[in-house]
Amino acid sequence: MLQVAFIRQNVEFVKERLSIRNFPDTGLVDTIVALDDQRRKLQLESDTTQSRINAHSKEIGALMAKGQKQEAEQKKGEVATLKAALAPIADQLAAVEEQLNASLLRLPNLPAAAVPPGKTPEDNVTIREGGAKPTLPAGALPHWDLAKKYDLIDFELGNKITGSGFPVYINKGAKLQRALIQYFLDYNTAAGYTEYQPPIMVNEASARGTGQLPDKEGQMYYVGEDNLYLIPTAEVPVTNIFRDEILKETQLPLRMTAYTPCFRREAGSYGKDVRGLNRLHQFDKVEIVQLVDPAKSYDVLEEMVLHVEKLLQSLDLPYRILRLCGGDMGFTSAMTYDFEVFSAAQEKWLEVSSVSNFEAFQTNRMKIRYKDGAGKTNLVHSLNGSSLALPRIVACMLENHQKDGFIALPPALHSYFGADAIR
């Protein structure tokens, strides 16, 4: 959430950055300023009235001490009148503050200066590519057929048990999932990330803190009886670990990693792009999150990009890194890099990771702060990335590494999987 003071001081700049995002309602900025003007006016009225009440109350005590009861009673009447006037002011102030907060929650983060303009994924900028696209053997299959051939994943069984988008992993398919999760976690902890195992359901405050509410309310699974949400990513519970805390400067940076199942309704998704593992309602993902000194957050963003890039390189997969344009970025992001892996059998690029800097957008909502050396309290910056999401990684590994009669596994996974191939 953007800070009101920043918006007031930079109205035209805020509108210009929102235009890079193609945000349709830049008039919301003016609404926020007007509501804040109203809030300030009401707050001044409230403070002035309360000050008069306090002053009269002191006078009453002094008059009573002097035996001037009649004058004291007159002052009591004035206090009663002021208190009666204060009540509607307080009600108006509360209503305006609620409107102001609701309006601020609807305003997305501002794109960083390096974010390219654009409206669609076609406007994203390729930063670099790595790895070689494989030459597949004759009769190469897409991953959904390979999963059936090697008895790795049963999509129909998942449909029977739950519904479309909830696959069942079997035998070596389940083992591959477990091997990848452990490898990803070990890779992250070796780089200095502390592992957490967070809840996979969160309350409303947590979902609002990372920006899922109100922006993605319809995309999350909701447990109405308990007012809880199934998480779409481990970013939500992990970042909220330090909600409402003031950290010491020496604690920064905080590096966290977690494996969780993730749940997304993916409303409106249909067609060939959702076949097999391409788009699921439940999937496994390992996440990395950092809370850092604001002055260092863009250096940290580049470090996290390199971290994920080396992980992809270890899986022997062809990849490319994209800097997202303003119109393709998530609601909370100031800058995002997407990682895509080439699916040789499907002949298309599949997104497998996003690494983002949210600056103070999330931490302002969550009130995650730190005290600097001068004793001043500041908001930290938050960043996160997938390291990695499993479904499309598995899809590309199966397709790209298929040979005549087996699927080769990259050396990094041999000890985790207990074999060099799936046969």
CB neighbour list of residue 314: distance below 8 Å, 6 or more residues apart: 187, 410, 412
- Parallel/antiparallel/unpaired status of strands 153-154 and 168-169: antiparallel
- Parallel/antiparallel/unpaired status of strands 348-359 and 168-169: unpaired
Q: Is 384 annotated as ligand-binding?
A: yes
- Parallel/antiparallel/unpaired status of strands 369-371 and 246-248: parallel
Q: Is 236 annotated as ligand-binding?
A: no
Question: Nearest-CA neighbor of 21 among 354, 329, 298?
Answer: 329
Q: Is 264 annotated as ligand-binding?
A: yes
Q: Are the C-beta atoms of residues 363 and 384 closer than 8 Å to each other?
A: no
The alpha carbon torsion through 396, 219, 269, 159 (nearest 10 deg) reads 70
Which tokens sit at 284? 């496994």
Spatial separation of the C-alpha atoms in residues 422 and 385, rounded to whole Å: 29
Say whether 196 sits in a helix, a strand or coil: strand
Spatial separation of the C-alpha atoms in residues 176 and 189, rounded to whole Å: 20
Question: Nearest-CA neighbor of 53 among 91, 83, 84, 93?
Answer: 83
Chain centroid to Cα 418, Å, comes to: 35
Q: Is 399 annotated as ligand-binding?
A: no
Q: Is 354 annotated as ligand-binding?
A: yes
Q: Is 382 annotated as ligand-binding?
A: no
Q: Is 353 annotated as ligand-binding?
A: yes
Q: Is 352 annotated as ligand-binding?
A: yes
Q: Is 46 annotated as ligand-binding?
A: no
Spatial separation of the C-alpha atoms in residues 141 and 332, rounded to whole Å: 38
Identify residue 99 by its one-letter amino acid code: Q
Spatial separation of the C-alpha atoms in residues 151 and 149, rounded to whole Å: 6
Q: Is 255 annotated as ligand-binding?
A: no
Chain centroid to Cα 307, Å, comes to: 19
Which tokens sit at 287? 């996440």
Q: Which residues are annotated as a binding site for L-serine?
A: 233, 264, 287, 384
Q: Which residues are annotated as a binding site for ATP?
A: 264-266, 351-354
Q: Which residues are annotated as a binding site?
A: 233, 264-266, 287, 351-354, 384
